[in-house]
Structure formats: C-alpha cells, structure tokens
Structure 1
Amino acid sequence: MHNLALLSDAEKNRVELDKQAAYSVWQVKNAKKGYEVFAEIANNISDDDEREFFERAVTKYKAQMGVA
C-alpha cells in the first residue's frame, strides 16, 4: 500500500495520466467514445514527457483490454 499524498507533484500527475489513459481506453472499448479521445487528451498535455507517458499508458491499456 502506498500513500499517494507522499508522492511528488510530478509523480501524482503521472498517476493521474495513467488513470486517464485507462479510462479513455475503457471508454473506447465500451463504445462510449471514439478513438479521437486519445488525441484530444494528448493534445491538452503541454509537457512532451508527460504526453509520451500518457501515450505509452494508452498502448499498455489497449493491450490489456484487447482494444486494437
């Protein structure tokens, strides 16, 4: 068990980006949103490293959830 309050702001942001990636893949898998949701979120991330982290997380969750 981890206390998320003890994480740095950067680490907290990565946790949030990972959650957004998982949720967006879930939305696509369940036909709640189209694939454009990934670009919409990524385009709103100004930091290149954070955007890349989000995109890697989307790839990870697509594989886990069986989304092509």
Structure 2
Amino acid sequence: MYNLTLLSDGERTRIELDKQAAYTVWKVKNGKVGYEAFAELINNIDDDDERDFCEKSVTKYKHQMGVN
C-alpha cells in the first residue's frame, strides 16, 4: 500500500493525469463521449511536460482498450 501524500506534487499530478487519460479513453470506448474528449483533455493542460505525459497516457490506454 502506498501513501500518495508522500509523493511530490509532480508525481501526484502525473497519477491524476494518467487516471484522467484512462477514464477519457474508457468513456470514448463506451460511447459516453466523442473523440473530441481527447482534444478537450489535452488542450486544458497548460504545462508542456504534463501535456506530453497525458498524450502518451491516452495513446497507451487507446492501445490497451482497442480504441482507434
């Protein structure tokens, strides 16, 4: 078990971005939202490194869940 409060702000942010990416891909796969949800998620991230990380997470989950 991990205590997430012991992580740095950057690490906690990456965990949150990864969760948001997974949830967004799941919503698209299940027809809850359209593909525009990917752009909305990515475009709402100001930090370049965080945006890049989130894009990679979206790509990872799209591959895992079979979303094109």
SS at match of 1:10: helix
Residues 9-64 of structure 1: per-residue CA shift (max 9 Å, x gap) = 01000000000000000000000001110100111100000000000000000011
TM norm structure 2: 0.96
Runs of 4+ residues deviating >4 angstroms: none
| Cα separation, 2, equivalents of 1:55 and 1:2 | 25
Tell me the C-alpha RMSD between the 2 structures. Answer: 0.6
| Cα separation, 2, equivalents of 1:13 and 1:62 | 20
TM norm structure 1: 0.96
SS at match of 2:31: coil
| Cα separation, 1, equivalents of 2:65 and 2:44 | 24
Tell me, which stretches of 5 or more residues in structure 1 are unaligned?
none
Is 2:63 the partner of 1:63? yes
Tell me, which stretches of 5 or more residues in structure 2 are unaligned?
none
